[in-house]
Amino acid sequence: MTPLHEVIINNKTTINPVWIMRQAGRYLPEFREIRKENPNFIELCLNHKLSSEITLQPIKRFDFDAAIIFSDILMLPYGLNQKVDFKKNFGPTLGNLDIKSMSKIDEIDFVEKIYPVYKAIKSVSLEMNSKNKNTIGFVGAPWTLLVYMINQQSPKKNVKKDFFKDDFLINRILLLIEKFLKIHIKHQIENGANVIQIFDSWVGLLEERDYPNYIYTPTLNLVDYVKSLNVPVICFPREIRNYKEFVEIVKPDAINIDYNVDPLMICKNIKIPVQGGLDPKILLTDKENLKKETLKYLNIFKDHPYIFNLGHGILPETNPDMVEFLIKTVRDY
């Protein structure tokens, strides 16, 4: 059994597996070399040879306990023929949303369009299985994808003023998103992903009264689906105001926490395995501070099933030496 499975399935606390969100990416010089030659981000994600290589770069360098496939949550709208571009220093921009033509897309069209993602997972998982490590597949949660697809860009400040004006449209899009997320998850698992993480990056935009419609019900449907395929599922509802309620309703196998939440409260109130929490900005400070903050999380969760990770993705300006020091601190614990 892999270290991640030990924690998630067996609730063992003997070791703390470690991996970090966005571990394959911009803070690594070897990634930047590839990126220089491949400026189109979507094309890079769909180059199965390069995306496999990028996924394995942090494994080769740091020996993490899991690889998370180098891809993007926006592969879903891309697979549904919504235009997706990534602008430097701005982030993603999406084209117009044509629900009529999207409704005509079938599973074969969708899979064909993003097939290289599954090919990459297949080759990565062969490598990871030989090391007794996990291959993590992932998707964006329905709410977060809805935000990108309607807002057509990252909602850093807020969503469009008329975002909620058409209930029927929103419900149709959510149904479509759920249908194709299940297809996307199924193909990731069939090609070797043995853990699925669901990222809900924009929960913080909602009032609590909207959680049942946009967070709990759609995410629960996905969690139940992943479980039906006998693969553990981790949820990351970033900036949700009540992690305990989320866990009780959605019932993921493990919960990833963000860095704004009190880990002591989480440890006290949540019974399932916990992942993450450390503020990525701590990696931009010094080793003494990094060690202190890392040990804080390890001590709080020492009698609780815990996977070491961050409370959000690693920042591009992070020095890889700090990541190495972080991993050594976790492994020596």
- Tell me, yes or no, whether 223 lies in a domain: yes
pLDDT in tens, 225-235: 999 999 999 99
- Tell me, yes or no, whether 89 lies in a domain: yes
- Tell me, yes or no, whether 285 lies in a domain: no
Question: CA torsion sign, 53 to 58 to 63 to 68?
Answer: negative
Question: CA torsion sign, 254 to 259 to 261 to 263?
Answer: positive
What is each CA distance from 152 to 26, 43, 71, 204, 303, in whole angstroms? 24, 19, 19, 18, 44
- Tell me, yes or no, whether 183 lies in a domain: yes
E strand map for the chain: 66-68, 84-87, 91-94, 134-140, 195-200, 233-237, 254-257, 274-276, 306-307
Residue 241 has pLDDT above 70, yes or no: yes
Section 256-270 average pLDDT: 98
pLDDT in tens, 34-79: 999 999 999 999 999 999 999 999 999 999 999 999 999 999 999 9
| Beta bridge mates, 86 | 92
- Report the C-alpha gap between 332 and 260 in whole angstroms: 26
- Contact at 8 Å (CB) between 205 and 155? yes
- The pLDDT > 70 percentage for the chain reads 100
Candidates 187, 251, 237; CA nearest to 208 is 237
Residue 307: its pLDDT value, please? Answer: 98
Candidates 262, 128, 250, 127; CA nearest to 198 is 250
- Tell me, yes or no, whether 253 lies in a domain: yes
Q: Which residues of 297-307 are buried (b: 16+ CB within 10 A; e: fewer)?
A: bbebbeebbbb
Residue 158: its pLDDT value, please? Answer: 72
CATH number of 165's domain: 3.20.20.210
- Tell me, yes or no, whether 61 lies in a domain: yes
Give the domain range for residue 180.
Answer: 19-274
- Tell me, yes or no, whether 24 lies in a domain: yes
The number of domains in the chain is: 1
H or E segment to which residue 273 belongs? none
Task: Decide: residue 122, CB within 10 A, 0-12 exposed, 13-18 middle, 19+ buried.
Answer: middle
- Report the C-alpha gap between 59 and 24 in whole angstroms: 9
Residue 157: its pLDDT value, please? Answer: 66
What's the mean pLDDT when you consider all of the chain? Answer: 96
What is each CA distance from 279 to 9, 28, 105, 170, in whole angstroms? 26, 19, 40, 33
pLDDT in tens, 185-217: 999 999 999 999 999 999 999 999 999 999 999
- Tell me, yes or no, whether 175 lies in a domain: yes
Q: Helix, strand, coil % (nearest 5) of the chain?
A: 55, 15, 35
The confidence band for 271, taking pLDDT boundaries of 50, 70 and 90, is very high
| Beta bridge mates, 257 | 276
